[in-house]
Amino acid sequence: MASRPSVRIARTARSKAESDFATWLMMAKLGSFDDLPPNAQGFLLSYRARLERMSEAESTAVAVREVYASYYSEMGGIGAAPELEAVATSVDNTVVRSGRPRRPPPARLAARPPDRPAARRSVPALLIFAAMVALIAAYRFLTN
């Protein structure tokens, strides 16, 4: 059983590996391959070479595993990087998802009780200022 600090390092390394690889892949697709650090270029070159032998999803999983193992050892993990549950990713890897659960949407005005009046919306200060300037301009125009 891995110790608690090793699990924390493993989770951090796995999360960083997934996000970094997705970022590198997107930058390479946008034509910024030469701007990536040398280690990222190496991971992407091996990823592209694997694409000829296996599917995109399999190649991506192997590449993320390689980056994860590298990060795990860099962060001070001892031994081989432990296997962790991978965060569910979409097949096309175009959507980056947060690890936090979403908050429920705020209650709608339609859900308010019928005996309670509707909430008043505030008027932005810029709109009030513009209306005052228009009124002053109209007053000066009409009085001259």
Going by pLDDT thresholds of 50, 70 and 90, the confidence category of residue 95 is: low
118 or 51: which carries more pLDDT confidence?
51
Host domain of residue 64: 4-74
Checking if the pLDDT of 93 tops 50, the result is yes
Residue 95 within a domain: no
Q: Structural domain tally of the chain?
A: 1
Task: Give the distance, in angstroms, between the CA of residue 42 and the centroid of all CA atoms in the same chain.
Answer: 24
Q: Is residue 49 part of a domain?
A: yes
pLDDT band per the 50, 70, 90 thresholds, residue 79: confident
Q: Indicate the average pLDDT of the chain.
A: 79
**Residue 23 maps to a domain:** yes
Domain membership of residue 54 (yes or no) is yes
pLDDT at 90: 41
Residue 84: inside a domain: no
Once rounded to an integer, what is the mean pLDDT over residues 73-99?
64
Token pair, residue 109, equals 């005005």
* Inside any domain, residue 102: no
Decide if 31 is inside a domain: yes
Count of beta carbons in the 10 Å neighbourhood of residue 141: 8
Query: Could you tell me if 14 and 84 are in contact, meaning their C-beta atoms sit under 8 angstroms apart?
Result: yes
Domain presence at residue 34: yes
Residue-wise pLDDT for 3-61, tens only, equals: 566 788 888 888 888 998 999 898 888 888 888 888 888 888 999 898 889 888 898 88
Closest CA to 99 of 117, 111, 86: 86
- Whole-prediction pTM value? 0.55
